[in-house]
Chain A
Amino acid sequence: MTTAPSQHWTAVCSLTDILPGTGVCALVADRHIAIFRLAGDELYAIDNIDPRSGASVLSRGLVGNLGDQLVVASPLYKNHFDLRTGACLETPEHSVRSYPVRLSGDSVMVASG
């Protein structure tokens, strides 16, 4: 993983705050960031705001896989976002940012840069 020197890591919650297989939304420097915990405690972070509706909801979508891609389905219009890149599978112009996220001890850390 390439980490820009300017990257600033913020602790947002403990791992147990996220139910396995679901996401939560963190407020990091005025950004709404969706953080997902998959089975095996892998963590992923993308923007929480769904570009199509402008609503802050992506963390409330269902996660899973489509082929090789790990995805979340927007709870509003069911379009899928790649958890690793934030790319929107159905309409690429609606893609969102992804963020580095890691576990430090029990603490979930996200880099909002």
Chain B
Amino acid sequence: MPISDEAYAALEAIVGKENVSRNPAVMDSYAFQWLAELVRPELSHFMPRPVAVVMPGSTEEVQAIVKLANKYKIKVKPHSTGWYHWAAPMYDDKDTMQLDMRRMNKIEIDEKNGIAIVEPYVIHAQLHAEAIKRGWTCNIIGAGCSCSVVAAACAYMGMGPGAYYMGGHAENVLGMEWITPAGEIVRSGSLGSGDGWFNSEGPGPSVRGVIRGALGQRGGLGVFTRCAIKLVHWSGRTDWPVTGTIPAYRLPVDETQRAYTLAAPDWDRWADLYYKIYDNELGFIFHRQFNLAGADLAPAFWLMYTDPTKKLSDVPAMVADPEIAELTEEMRISFQIVLSGRSVADIELQDQILDDVLAETGCWKVERFCDKDMAEFTNVYLQRLGHKHINFVWVGGYIGSWMQIGTPDWVKGYIPTAQAGLARDAKDGLLVQCGGDAMMGPGSSYPGGGGVGLEQFVSYDPNDEASTRAGIKHMEDAITDALSIGYPPGKEAMYLEMGHSDDRTFKKWAAAKQPFTFIFQRKIKEHYDPNDIGDRMYNYIPEEYEPAK
């Protein structure tokens, strides 16, 4: 039902009339979310509509809004930059106000200590740009540089192509400022003691352990208003001299850096190569990126993309070109790596060691993609992750299936099934036919190696009913496929869950291997969210589902 005039007036009093809205058209713009059609009735592109959108400008305003939400029993769903449908309200029958955090966009950089303190609407591109000027850089999440740092660090996962060397945000977050659903402020680690933003652990047991784990709370349990992130030394030029023709930007590769595409003859040797990269401590950015276009199409696609005279419709002809066909086979199992050295001597030695490793494993550099033009394109793409439109390039929509994270040996165990599953599901032409392998992902989502994940990019047309239904079927199939080979479900299960009822979801968690996890989280929710203004994006099982001990 619509928000009451009284509650609306109270919101206006907190943030000013210009920063709150209940205009239906504006509300629909917030309900229109990527992936909605996969889980909503009649394949609607709209998630539930919020009753109001409010744009706070400070921690104090967020706190006041949340307290007001408790008074009027309105759910609160914060939204910084959004990514996936769970950024939206989850209920058609429960009033939810959306907090649009765009007014909170300040960055503060402690250059001496390599720490950035950011508000929720600071995106990675902004932080990266400011950091580079100062000789620092930062981990940019896989979802791209247009995403909020706070959302990634505090509320979701925070891994990306640089996580292998730089650490993911789970490792890099140095302090979090959290407004609980009851409206209290919790600050983690040294920040809570008033000692600064440099240590996210403790005092004693780490309070941050309550706030985020493998996942953050995805807007389901309060609002994050600031966080601090550890920066990483940048050995390259601080003026970031980008060139090239839009959208194929190029960044010259500094004398202390290298940008390569490497390839393996088979998945066994792909895994061997990953392990040797870990053991030899090579790599600054390490990601299987280009393959998101699909192994059958990727070389042609990227050569088209970087050639200003070509367009998307040229891809089929390029694929048929014998030279490109040969290249397609050469880099069928490939990935990108950017090396960074402390000095010229250091990078030259890294280069030698990489050559040794390639020789030992029978792998190779893909020369065409290591040429100057492609190396410079690779450099800017991987360093900045600013080409996220590519994710949607084939037909306007994509699903990420699989993406279970583990060691290279473990991950290679699901690759054949993931490939066969996509080839099967795309056979009738309702999903983009790219060869079965459109898997991409980090060389390691955890610093130092050991946490590979491969996400299968399944492209569908969200405005075509048959294609959308094929996408849904693929997600269901991927779950079945994974279970059939002894692997847990992947990202697709998280996507689909958005369309399930609370009851169905709670029952699933109650049947988990360790339901205690969700009992613990329910008790945390009871403490911090007594009026239930959050939603089940913070996973818990209500008492009635509590399994017997």
Task: Tell whether A pairs with B.
Answer: no
Task: Point out residues on B near A: beta carbons under 8 Å.
Answer: none
**Contact residues of A with B, CB < 8 Å?**
none
